[in-house]
């Protein structure tokens, strides 16, 4: 893999959002996080042409699936029981991108919606609404936060706390109203972080049980004003993984 890995990033189409300027700035935060650690982002959204998609997905060294609207519950065989702002064209783009990344064995990182999308694409389901995990929208006030319990010894714990991978807790931002319970988790994924909720414990981080690098988190680590500094290591590790297995060790 190249020293500057090309990383495909799937994002919301700003022109289709209620606040296009804020949506564009949200997208920029992902781009900045990848560039801070030496990656070369290639951004795709629902407007990207077939040729643009093909070029990015055929050459990517890694895939980042980002935050945004709810996933169509039909994709995991459920009626709508609280899903809002569904964007089928984005679902289609990200299903295509995930399939290409999985087929090629490149590293995959999912953030918030992207975390949920990976679970759905691998055969899991979602809890379509949970109270208490969403506050003011980004750009409209301080983030809601909650405690996050890391699974000691998990890959996520080793990344966030390399000198003490048995460490168990931190605090993260919370911008989601949908969630993954243990019963929703797709086969082959293992929980690496948990958070309490009125619906019981929620999976807020997972990783692949084996195979190529695949990791997801429910929080938004690109929003650095409300994220522990330790999550900067997650971005660095992901970009290093996209350089190849030696660099990521």
Instruction: Tell me, yes or no, whether 201 lies in a domain.
Output: yes
Rounded average pLDDT over 198-221? 95
Residue 65 in tokens: 């699936």
Alpha carbon 208 to chain centroid distance? 14
Q: What is the mean pLDDT of residues 124-140?
A: 79
Q: Catalytic residue, from 87, 219, 222, 242: name it.
A: 222
Q: Tell me 142's DSSP state.
A: P
User: Is the residue at 85 inside a domain?
Assistant: yes
- Burial group, residue 218, by CB count within 10 angstroms (0-12, 13-18, 19+): buried
Indicate the number of domains in the chain: 1
Tokens of 59: 């050459």
What is the C-alpha to C-alpha distance for residues 48 and 8, in angstroms, rounded to an integer?
Answer: 12
Q: Name the active-site residue from 37, 133, 176, 220.
A: 220
Q: Using alpha carbons, select from 173, 174, 154 the residue that is nearest to residue 164.
A: 154
On whether residue 1 sits in a domain, the answer given is: no
Mean pLDDT in residue range 8-25: 94
pLDDT digits (tens, 9 = 90+) for 137-188: 666 678 789 999 999 999 999 999 887 766 678 899 999 899 999 999 999 9
Q: Which residues of 72-103 are buried (b: 16+ CB within 10 A; e: fewer)?
A: bbebbeeeeeebeeebeebbebbebbbebbbe
The enclosing domain of 137 has a CATH number of: 3.40.50.880
Tell the residue number behind the tokens 């945004």, with chain if given: 68
Q: What is the mean pLDDT of residues 202-217?
A: 95
Per-residue pLDDT at 247: 44
**What does the pLDDT average to over 95-111?**
98
**Residue 55 included in any domain:** yes
Closest by CA position to 177, among listed 142, 144, 225, 216? 144
* Options 112, 176, 204, 219, the catalytic residue: 112
Residue 71 lies in a domain: yes
Domain that holds residue 128: 6-248
Is residue 219 annotated as part of the catalytic site, yes or no?
Answer: no
Instruction: Give the pLDDT score at 164.
Output: 72
Give the integer Cα–Cα distance in Å for 168 and 165.
8
Do the domain assignments include residue 60? yes
* pLDDT, position 249: 41
60-to-40, 41, 236 alpha-carbon distances in Å: 10, 9, 17
Q: Confirm whether 52 is domain-assigned.
A: yes
| Contacts for 246 with CB less than 8 Å, ≥ 6 apart | none
């Amino acid at each position: 893999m190249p020293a500057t890995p090309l990383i495909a990033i799937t994002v919301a189409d700003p022109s289709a959002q209620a606040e296009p300027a804020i949506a564009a700035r949200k997208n920029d935060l992902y781009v900045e996080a990848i560039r801070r650690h030496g990656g070369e982002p290639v951004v795709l959204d629902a407007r990207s042409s077939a040729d643009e998609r093909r070029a990015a997905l055929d050459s990517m060294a890694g895939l980042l699936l980002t935050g945004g609207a709810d996933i169509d519950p039909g994709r995991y065989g459920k009626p709508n029981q609280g899903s809002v702002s569904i964007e089928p064209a984005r679902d289609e783009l990200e299903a295509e991108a995930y399939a290409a990344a999985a087929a090629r064995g490149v590293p995959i990182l999912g953030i918030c919606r992207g975390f949920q999308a990976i679970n759905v694409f691998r055969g899991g389901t979602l809890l379509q609404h949970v109270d208490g995990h969403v506050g003011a929208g980004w750009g409209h006030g301080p983030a809601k936060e909650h405690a996050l319990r890391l699974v000691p010894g998990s890959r996520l714990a080793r990344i966030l706390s390399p000198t003490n991978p048995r460490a168990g807790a931190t605090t993260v931002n919370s911008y989601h109203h949908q969630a993954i319970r243990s019963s929703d988790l797709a086969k082959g994924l293992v929980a690496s972080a948990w958070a309490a909720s009125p619906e019981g414990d929620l999976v807020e981080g997972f990783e692949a049980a084996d195979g190529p690098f695949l990791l997801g988190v429910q929080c938004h680590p690109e929003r650095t004003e409300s994220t522990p500094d330790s999550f900067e290591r997650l971005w660095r590790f992901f970009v290093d993984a996209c350089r190849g297995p030696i660099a990521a060790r």
